[in-house]
Structure 1
Amino acid sequence: MLKITAIYAAILTFVYVKLTLNVINLRRQNEVSLGDGGRDDLQQAIRSHGNFAEYVPLGLILLGCLEANHIHWTIVLLLGGLFTAGRLYYAKAFLEATPNIELRVQGMKYTLWGLQALAATNVIALIIQKIL
């Protein structure tokens, strides 16, 4: 069972729901049923939600592959934590009253570092397992 991946997937799901509710609330406040209605705040909320939905599946797949290939749990935990921290920072940047650009940039850095580390660790692990 992919216990560590399941924990991170659950945490990220709660953030996804929060971002979804943020979009729904802004649509209701601004009486917009489709699109952003020309509202900058709604456009930012929609893109923040979309950005989250674009990156999280790949991160969880890579994390699950590490765990399924029996990579030591500390490596899985640390890399999942790096990726998740990035997604949390990015989401928080857009859930503030005024978007926090520094937090947004830091969130994307951690997200991309996490994805690269997850991908590289998967490749290295597969090469080592094939050789041994």
Structure 2
Amino acid sequence: MIEPRTTALYAALLGILFLAISLRVIAARRDAKIAVGTGEDRRLLRASRAHGNFAEYVPLILLLIALAETTGTPRPVIHAIGLATLIGRAVHAYGIRREPERFVFRVTGMALTFTALSVAVLAALWGALF
């Protein structure tokens, strides 16, 4: 059986990014003096959405990467999915947390994330069927 070592690398790198995004939420909460929710604080709302958006996409992509890797998807494809996810999430978080919003970064980040998700779905499906 093929071990998902490449997936482990991207899971660790994405975990570091998630920690950094989480710390920004904590800092924004502290500055706004808001323990639950976002109140009317736009900085906290943006930090929370960057955090939430990451948590919504990354676990599924990592699962699909692991499944694709264990069913024999070539390593360059796994790296491409992992890098697109890592860069996409970092660029998206940068774009969404800025005031005024950096729309081009947010859109680029989501485009990379959707590309990674789509390729991961196809790779896992290919590995399952063939």
Q: TM-score, normalised by structure 2?
A: 0.91
1:9 and 1:94 map into 2 onto residues whose CA distance is 22
Q: Which of residues 28, 46, 49 is equivalent to 1:47?
A: 49
Structure 1 unaligned residues grouped into runs of 5+: none
Q: Which of residues 66, 85, 105 is equivalent to 1:83?
A: 85
> What root-mean-square deviation, in Å, do the aligned CA atoms of Structure 1 and Structure 2 show?
1.4
Trace 1:22-101 onto structure 2 (pairs within 5 A): 22-96=24-98, 98-101=100-103
- The alpha carbon displacement at 1:73 in A equals 1.1
Q: Over residues 14-71 of structure 1, what are the superposed CA-to-partner deviations in whole Å (9 max), with x where a residue is unaligned?
A: 1111111111101111111111121111111111100000100000000000111122
Trace 1:104-123 onto structure 2 (pairs within 5 A): 104-123=106-125
Structure 2 unaligned residues grouped into runs of 5+: none
Q: TM-score, normalised by structure 1?
A: 0.89
1:23 and 1:31 map into 2 onto residues whose CA distance is 12
1:16 equivalent in structure 2: 18
Q: Over residues 86-110 of structure 1, what are the superposed CA-to-partner deviations in whole Å (9 max), with x where a residue is unaligned?
A: 1121122234464311100000011
For the pair shown, which has the larger CA radius of gyration, 1 or 2? 1
